[in-house]
Amino acid sequence: MTAFWTTYGLYLWLGSLVAILAMAGLIVRLTLQLRAAMRRYATLTNGVSGEQLDEIWDARASQVARHDQQLDQLSRQVTELRHASVQHVGLIRFNPFGDVGGDQSFAVALLDGDHNGVILSSIFSRAGVRTYAKFVQAGASPSSLSDEEEAAIAQAVGASLAAPAAPSTLKPSTGGIS
């Protein structure tokens, strides 16, 4: 029996040492994984009253569902606002009377994303100023329009067709109808 220990004893000790070191490494790895799982569990249970993991999971799932509903509602509201806000503007300045200096009169078209909105016209004369407002639907008005009002709508709609992603800006005319 002593011959066995003399011949194979060193190998048995080295094998045992390797096995012990491998198990120690495994224990360290499992300890790190357990700590990470405990941190994730603490984060999951933070702010939720419930003792069972199923209750905690259900509470978190209902929170996520409520947040999804809120995001959907906000998305719909943003879409509605995007269509209802003034997105396209056309401005024409003109001189309707030869006896008044400068282009003091104007027509401005204020349209939303669907080309609905209003056109405002102001006629300046020596006797006074008159202002008119007319509805615009799909780029046209059911009311009769002056040439300048039609040009303001065309400018607003044309600006939206030329650059659909860029916000439209006022584009003053240098005189007459452009």
> What was the pLDDT predicted at 75?
93
The pLDDT score that the predictor gives to residue 23 is: 97
Looking at residue 58, its pLDDT comes to 83
Instruction: Write the pLDDT tens digit of every residue in 128-165.
Output: 889 999 999 988 888 889 999 999 999 998 865 554 44
For 61-98, the pLDDT digits (tens) are 888 999 999 999 999 998 888 777 888 899 999 888 87
Percentage of the chain exceeding pLDDT 90:
41
Q: What percentage of residues in the chain have a pLDDT greater than 70? A: 85
**What pLDDT is stored for residue 50 in this prediction?**
61
For the full predicted model, state whether its pTM sits above 0.75.
no
Please compute, for residue 79, the number of CA atoms within 13 A of its CA located in the half-sphere on the CB side. Answer: 6
Mean of pLDDT over the chain: 83
- Classified as helix, coil or strand, 129 is strand
Residues 6+ apart with CB under 8 A from 149: 92, 107, 109, 119, 121, 134, 141
Element (H, E) at 13: helix 2-45
Structure confidence at residue 164 (pLDDT): 42
Say which DSSP state 126 is in.
Answer: T
The answer on pLDDT for 101 being more than 90 is no
- For the ranges 26-30, 49-53, 75-79, 122-126, the lowest mean pLDDT is seen at 49-53
For the chain, the structural domain boundaries read 2-82, 88-162
